[in-house]
Amino acid sequence: MPEDLPNILLIMADQFAAHVLGKEAGEHEHFSTPALDRLGADSTRYTRAYTSFPLCVPARSSMLTAKYPHRLGIDGNGREFLSDADRNEDEPGRGPHSLGHWFAEHGFDCAYAGKWHARQASAQASDGFAPIHDFGDEGLVRSCTQWLATRRSSKPFLLVASFDDPHTICEHARLQPLPYGDVAASPLDDCPPLPENFPRAPFAAQAPQEEYAAAAAKYGTTAYTAEDWRRYRDVYAQLVSRVDERINTLLSAVDSEPGNTIVVFISDHGDGDSSHGWNQKSALFEECIRVPFLLRVPDRPAGRIDTPVAAVLGLLPTLCEAAGIAAPPGLDGSSVLAPDARPVFIETKFDGGSEPATTGRAVIHGRYKYAVYNWGKWREQLFDLEADPGERRNLAVEGRFDDVLERMRSLLLHWCLETVDTAFLKRLVRPAAASEELRRQIFEVPY
């Protein structure tokens, strides 16, 4: 076992979109995150970090295991919160190679505070962590600081502080009370403007738009006016500020601890935040699938990495490399400390209850992003994210990009084959070079 292992503080905030920390671009200046801005100034900041699935349980399961959600058999939240009695022994988080168990085996004191939701609300000791605070932001920081102040072990720690905010924007959209207190309504003139990509773009995929309209109870915004969307953005920004204040208190406590501490900030997925007229998650829009990823490692210089990385899938091996311990065997994800140019893959399934369910896959490679849904008009979407970061121009309908389209189709096909994504193989748009024999193999069982 390596000597002088560092401490690790892993901070998570649910539904915290990556663009919140992208204020240098000018469009998102209404977000106030002084604590995270200070952390980012001392960290490696990954500007193109992605989730594995823009939904809580599948993404969190990937964080714990470095496995794609479809490999785990998880494609939705299912029953929103399981009781401990309802859980299975083989759930993600309970295996010996999962995050808490692996780090405990390698000499760390592992503690968990706040939202677990993979699948039950709060972490249990069988998940590999000492549970020190149940699901809920009230008192979470106090529980973390008390644990740090009173623990008597000489071991390094892995402490996870998992906040619910700004996920409570979901309750706001449904006109429900916010569990940690409401936020003050701002005058409309003080609310953020709508983003440039607010209107639905030409040749937008039919499937997510119809899914959105069918899930009014989940999304709560189907009758929104432009003014309502601006108020939504204002509330989301206030919830971001509220969690940033809690993070500030936590960082102050950890930075006062002796010794070296790795600090990580990440989210499970983003929020539409009115882009494309969308709130919540599930869709394969950049606002939903990109996540913030800040990594502060002692003696590692701060910097910025613009290479696309599978941050959620690669969290476990990244923490292992940063801490100086071996990673578990057989992972789908890999460390992103020194990212390469490999493609990033994302999967999704909408929880709206439509039949058949709307599913999708995306691949990001270099400047291009390709997304395909399992049904509907314009189900293929191709974007040049450098020239069109707002995803307003679908290049899949322009013949001069056919070579790029074919290349991205091939990448996704090979990934589905390699990761045994049998659920989506039959829904792919196969590249022209795919053989007739491959088609027969895929449809050997037609449905």
Determine which of 154-168, 180-194, 212-226, 258-272 has the lowest per-residue pLDDT on average: 212-226
For residue range 393-438, list pLDDT tens digits in order.
999 999 999 999 999 999 999 999 999 999 899 999 999 999 999 9
Integer Cα distance of 411 and 190 in angstroms: 45
Q: What is the pLDDT of residue 255?
A: 81
Triad 25, 31, 32: Cα angle to 5°:
115
For residue range 138-163, list pLDDT tens digits in order.
999 999 999 999 998 889 999 999 99
Mean pLDDT of all residues belonging to the chain: 93
For residue range 291-310, list pLDDT tens digits in order.
999 999 998 999 999 999 99
Q: What is the pLDDT of residue 84?
A: 53
Point out which residues pair with 163 in neighbouring strands: 13
- Please compute the mean of the pLDDT values over residues 210-226 and round it to a whole number: 85
Query: Under CATH, to which class is 7-335 assigned?
Result: alpha beta
Q: What is the pLDDT of residue 272?
A: 96
- Please compute the mean of the pLDDT values over residues 371-393 and round it to a whole number: 97
Task: Extract the runs of DSSP E, i.e. beta strands, from 216-310.
Answer: 261-266, 290-291, 293-296, 303-305
Q: What is the pLDDT of residue 216?
A: 75
Q: What is the pLDDT of residue 25?
A: 60
Residue given tokens 């020239």 in the structure block: 387
- 310: DSSP letter: -
Sign of CA dihedral 72, 77, 83, 85: negative
Point out which residues pair with 370 in neighbouring strands: 363, 382
Q: What is the pLDDT of residue 86?
A: 53
- Please compute the mean of the pLDDT values over residues 313-333 and round it to a whole number: 97
> Which residues does 209 contact at the CB level (< 8 Å), separation at least 6?
200
The amino acid occupying position 313 is L
Q: What is the pLDDT of residue 89?
A: 57
- Please compute the mean of the pLDDT values over residues 46-57 and round it to a whole number: 97
Point out which residues pair with 112 in neighbouring strands: 131, 160
Instruction: Please tell me whether the peptide bond between 166 and the residue prior to it is cis, using omega within 30 degrees of 0.
Output: yes
End-to-end CA distance of the chain: 50
> Which residues does 402 contact at the CB level (< 8 Å), separation at least 6?
none
Q: What is the pLDDT of residue 254?
A: 87
- Please compute the mean of the pLDDT values over residues 187-207 and round it to a whole number: 95
Asked whether the predicted pLDDT for residue 1 surpasses 60, the reply is: no
Report domain extents, the chain: 7-335, 347-442
Asked whether the predicted pLDDT for residue 73 surpasses 80, the reply is: yes
For residue range 76-119, list pLDDT tens digits in order.
887 555 555 555 656 777 889 999 999 999 999 999 999 998 87
Instruction: Calculate Rg over the CA atoms of the chain.
Output: 21
The model's confidence at residue 164, banded by pLDDT at 50, 70 and 90, is very high
Q: Are 7-335 and 347-442 in the same CATH fold?
A: no
Determine which of 212-221, 265-274, 406-415, 436-445 has the lowest per-residue pLDDT on average: 212-221
Integer Cα distance of 116 and 154 in angstroms: 26
Determine which of 88-97, 216-225, 227-236 has the lowest per-residue pLDDT on average: 88-97
- Classified by CATH at the fold level, domain 347-442 comes out as Arylsulfatase, C-terminal domain (3.30.1120)
378 and 394 Cβ atoms separated by less than 8 Å: yes
**How many Cα atoms within 13 Å fall on the side-chain side of residue 169?**
33
- Please compute the mean of the pLDDT values over residues 349-364 and round it to a whole number: 86
**How many Cα atoms within 13 Å fall on the side-chain side of residue 149?**
10
Integer Cα distance of 17 and 30 in angstroms: 14
Flag whether the pTM goes above 0.85.
yes
Point out which residues pair with 347 in neighbouring strands: 361
Instruction: Please tell me whether the peptide bond between 131 and the residue prior to it is cis, using omega within 30 degrees of 0.
Output: no
